[in-house]
Amino acid sequence: MSGFVFNEKPIQIERGDGAYVYDDSGTEYLDMGASYACVPLGHKHPAVQSAVSEQLEKITYVQASYPNAERTALYDLLADTAPDPIDKTWLCNSGTEANEAALKFARSATGNSKIVATMQGFHGRTMGALATTWKDKYKKPYEPLIGDVEFVPYDDSEALAEAVDEDTAAFIVEPVQGEGGINPTSDGYLEDAREITEDAGAALIFDEVQTGMGRTGALWNSQRAAVAPDMITAAKGLGNGLPIGATLCRDWIAENYGSHASTFSGGPVISAAAGATVSTIIEDSVPGNAAVMGDYLLTELEATIGDDVRDIRGEGLMIGVEVGRGANAALKKLALNHQVLALPAGRTVVRLLPPLTIDEAHADAVVDAMAEVVG
């Protein structure tokens, strides 16, 4: 095999349907990772399939300087769904690009360079986004990265207030840390972040690459927290498996964004997929199901394996089970012995990010499998 980037797993996935994927021998697996939250509607969703097929019959690609109905409709849809007063959107291809744009926009709009980020945070792998990512294992081979980045403890308002000053361009934060271990914030932290950045004239960036699209029980976690940042970054579930990212901005950011562009910004096929995804999530009340099923899954996990693990935490269908340093071993047993696919969040946490359309039967299957693995 000529590929070298990824550490491939010993399961060759050939197709998917709803909450399940199938390997090349036809074995069925319950997909409780949704490929890092990328298919919130499940695999092969008919609304997305239809939107993509119809668009392919018209035109595959036209660059963003030419208006296109699918792209314009997506702009409008995202503006309508974003928390007020966010109503401008820049489209790209991934979460790291969305965060890269947000950092550039913040520096351009404020005239400042300092970026404040959190310990254990993860914002992507391009040189700018990587500079705001905490773990050295992601960064060391590529240093020096962009400068003037300061890290503060996550969920610590006092430390944040000390770090954000008149030289700060932005504070970038995940409302729930994903790669860092599924860490939700405490009540009041995001409100404090809003007040601290506003007082300093800095931009507040919510990285909702993983928490967005209904995963935590609202379309955007910022709506769940009732806090409106200056920018929201999105990707992963936005195209239900197709590559797209977005940076949603307030006017004062959009009016002073500098010069930034992307060849594949909002191509028609990708925009059609994202439009169908977001519309279906809203029309089918998918965030509500994520909230209900998330509560159910957390409750059942706690009742069944709570005494056997260090912690169980999360919001909506973004759940972490802290098992200690045996997370990878647990994941292997889940996949090979119980046909359940999940994800790591560091060495200690099994991460559950299923399609947001799962039901109690799916949740029960995961609980039963986890009980066998960690009990």
pLDDT digits (tens, 9 = 90+) for 217-244: 999 999 999 999 999 999 999 999 999 9
Instruction: Read off the pLDDT of each residue in 17-37 and give the average, rounded to a whole number.
Output: 97
Does 125 appear as a known binding residue?
yes
* pLDDT score for 9: 78
Does 322 appear as a known binding residue?
no
Indicate if the pLDDT at residue 50 is higher than 70: yes
Indicate if the pLDDT at residue 140 is higher than 80: yes
* pLDDT score for 265: 94
pLDDT band at 128 (very low <50, low <70, confident <90, very high): very high
Does 197 appear as a known binding residue?
no
Amino acid code (one letter) for 255 = E
Domains, in order of start, for the chain: 13-44+286-374 (3.90.1150.10), 46-284 (3.40.640.10)
pLDDT band at 6 (very low <50, low <70, confident <90, very high): low
- Helices 286-305 and 360-374: angle between axes, nearest 10 degrees: 30
* pLDDT score for 4: 55
Does 171 appear as a known binding residue?
no
Whole-number average pLDDT of the chain: 96
**Is beta strand 114-118 parallel, antiparallel or unpaired with respect to 168-173?**
parallel
Indicate if the pLDDT at residue 51 is higher than 70: yes
Indicate if the pLDDT at residue 215 is higher than 70: yes
Indicate if the pLDDT at residue 1 is higher than 60: no
pLDDT band at 5 (very low <50, low <70, confident <90, very high): low
Instruction: Read off the pLDDT of each residue in 160-168 and give the average, rounded to a whole number.
Output: 98
* pLDDT score for 103: 98
Does 195 appear as a known binding residue?
no
Does 24 appear as a known binding residue?
no
Does 96 appear as a known binding residue?
yes
pLDDT digits (tens, 9 = 90+) for 242-262: 999 999 999 999 999 888 999
Does 95 appear as a known binding residue?
yes
* pLDDT score for 3: 63
